Amino acid sequence: MTSPPDPLRELAVGLAELRGDVGTGLAEIKGSLALLRQSDSHTGQTIADHSAQLADHDRRISDGERERAAAGEVRQADRRRLQALAGLAGVAAAVAAVVPIVNR
């Protein structure tokens, strides 16, 4: 004949199993949190790298715009000089045409 089950023993076995399940669950949660922390750190570094690259691109674009503006100013100055030379050439031609008439 078997003896009746001891309720305290069954409770102790149940608590031991529950303790094991909770320990396993907590270990899984800790592992997941560690992975999330590592991923967050990596993502933060990636964002910082991209921000630095974006700032570098913005600086290059600004430098390029300044260079284009300066080149445009040089072209305008060259046009003005050419216009002044054309005006002087016109005046010189007029003087050259008038001198023989005046000398007659």
DSSP one-letter string for 3-67: PPPPHHHHHHHHHHHHHHHHHHHHHHHHHHHHHHHHHHHHHHHHHHHHHHHHHHHHHHHHHHHHH
Instruction: State whether residue 94 is helix, strand or coil.
Output: helix
Could you tell me the pLDDT band of residue 1, with boundaries at 50, 70 and 90? Answer: low
Q: How many CA atoms lie within 13 A of 31 on its CB side?
A: 6
- What are the distances in angstroms from CA 66 to CA 23, 37, 69, 78, 103? 64, 43, 5, 18, 55
pTM of this structure: 0.45
Residues 12-50: pLDDT tens digits? 899 999 999 999 999 999 999 999 999 998 998 999 999
Q: Please give the structure tokens belonging to residue 13.
A: 């076995």
Residue with tokens 């078997």: 2
